[in-house]
Chain A
Amino acid sequence: DAGITQSPRHKVTETGTPVTLRCHQTENHRYMYWYRQDPGHGLRLIHYSYGVKDTDKGEVSDGYSVSRSKTEDFLLTLESATSSQTSVYFCAISGASRNEQFFGPGTRLTVL
């Protein structure tokens, strides 16, 4: 597996609380992505980054924000978690070609 870690791996939180998920890579890859995976929906892109402090929205960005202050770290924040954000969140990275994406181990988030 590519050098990608995610933390935490599991989290249970309550509606209305802020939550931050971290993705850390040791590959020095330029591109980083956050996806959510839900039954029947496959993988949907939330936000992505094409460099330090360079980010853009994906297909399902509402309710999420991201930050990338270092090449190796990409943070996903839920400012005020809702039950609809209960999901498995995957981080992915890709290098110069951008096409080949490699996924982290995932974070299972439950919002009660």
Chain B
Amino acid sequence: GENVEQHPSTLSVQEGDSAVIKCTYSDSASNYFPWYKQELGKRPQLIIDIRSNVGEKKDQRIAVTLNKTAKHFSLHITETQPEDSAVYFCAGNYGGSQGNLIFGKGTKLSVKP
């Protein structure tokens, strides 16, 4: 079936470094790709998303890039801070605009001060 693969499963960086998390999807009809941040014991929070009609989107220290041909998208966090430590989930909609989201299995990011 359709799925979203996410790598790496864990990522440790020094404060101030950049972090990159990558996801691949299988459904060529997918056109919406959100990223969620989940702190320990909290709900997933939508932090940024991208639609298939653009290749890159930025919001302060975070950015997402999309390569439709290769069916992969990435989350980039620059100048990481300890408060960026969390589990990050990517997702893609299955079947296009009216489809449900399929989530990757998550990346645990640790930012060491």
| A109 CB, nearest partner CB in chain B, Å | 15
Main secondary structure of the interface of B (DSSP, over half): strand
> When chains A and B are docked, how far (Å) is the Cα of A90 from the Cα of B89?
14
B44-A90 in contact (CB<8A): yes
Contacts of A40 in B (CB 8 A): 105
Residue on B with the closest CB to A48? B100
Closest CB-CB distance, B31 to chain A, in whole Å? 9
Q: A32 → chain B, closest Cβ, in Å?
A: 12
CB atoms of B104 and A100 under 8 A apart: no
Q: Does A43 contact B (CB under 8 A)?
A: yes
Q: Mark B14-40, 1 if CB is under 8 A from A, else 0.
A: 000000000000000000101010000
Query: When chains A and B are docked, how far (Å) is the Cα of A74 from the Cα of B46?
Result: 21
Interface of A with B (CB < 8 Å)?
1, 33, 40-45, 48, 58, 90, 98-106
19 further A-B contacts with Cβ under 8 Å, apart from A33-B100, A42-B105, are A42-B6, A42-B89, A42-B103, A43-B89, A43-B91, A44-B103, A45-B100, A58-B100, A90-B43, A98-B97, A99-B49, A99-B101, A100-B46, A100-B49, A101-B34, A102-B46, A103-B43, A103-B45, A105-B42
